[in-house]
Amino acid sequence: MKGNINNNNMGLGKSIKMYLTIFVATTCIYMLIYQYHMSTQEIDSNEVIKPPLYIITPTYRRPEQLAELTRLGYTLKHVTNLLWLVIEDANETSPLVFDILDRIGVPYHYLLAPMPAQYRIKRFKPRGVSNRNRGLAYIRANATEGVFYFADDDNTYDVSLFEQMRYTKMVSMWPVGLVTNTGVSSPIVRDGKLNGFYDGWIGGRKYPVDMAGFAVSVKFLLQRPNATMPFVVGYEEDGFLRSLKPLSNDDIELLANKCTEILTWHTQTKKNPSAIALNQTRYGGTNLIAIDKLLVRS
């Protein structure tokens, strides 16, 4: 009888030890899972506190519009804490543009800014100026911090550029590829400092840079209430940067590894003619009827 009691006690002790082992192991696993969860939450928190980016994109109806917005939109989708201001030169919004923007899923505002009538009759039209000035008006009314950037929809962008520009204190600049016969438009850096500009067309400009080659701090803009982009073809960038005065070369931050890398290109999608009319009689009842609604007619 005594032997049975001892055996029972030994069995009970082993059971208790086994359960304790399982309890400790389970607790350790739960602690590891909790720590991992908290670490991911911390990463998400750090993402949220990054300075916001406001990407101003002028656009207008043309055969390439939806394709170019799609390409740019899916690039911007890789960038956190960003608001995309898509501003169309039109008198009414387009359901097709709304559909593309909703499908991509980047936070956006879709606004209108038709070109003033007096400029439409000119041979050389200052495209995108009314759009960009509308974007500046939005920022002045709704933003207090962060950085804004004029990102045309026919360019190509390396996503690392957006993270670099995000911390601009005043104005930042960098090279843009595929611009004029020089192949690049870039600040000239000598001994680590801005020493001029390299561009295929200087044209008497103080700032001969491409629209894709600079970003501006929101606070810096708000301190300059008269800053605006002029309706002068070829001098839009120069006029805007001049309007940010006082602005010295020492105030300009040089990104893209001190302007030794090209992280954006002025690719300019090939222009396409308007689509010919669809033969409704021949193709009625086919998928082409739906597709036809997506095409730009002359």
CB atoms within 10 A of CB 171: 19
CA distances for 109 relative to 54, 56, 81, 93, 243, angstroms: 10, 10, 14, 12, 26
Taking the C-alpha atoms of residue 111 and residue 100, their distance in angstroms, rounded to an integer, is 14
Q: How far apart are the first and last CA of the chain?
A: 104
Which entry of 68, 236, 237, 253 is annotated as an active-site residue?
237
Say if residues 253 and 173 touch (Cβ distance below 8 Å). Answer: yes
173 φ, ψ (degrees, to nearest 5): -140, 160
Distance of CA 178 to the CA centre of its chain: 20
Residue 191 annotated as binding site: no
Q: How far apart are CA 166 and CA 215, in angstroms?
A: 9
**88 labelled catalytic:** no
User: Can you tell me the distance from the alpha carbon of 119 to that of 117, in angstroms, rounded to the nearest whole number?
Assistant: 5
Residues annotated within the binding site for Mn(2+) are: 154
- The residues annotated with a catalytic role in the active site are 237
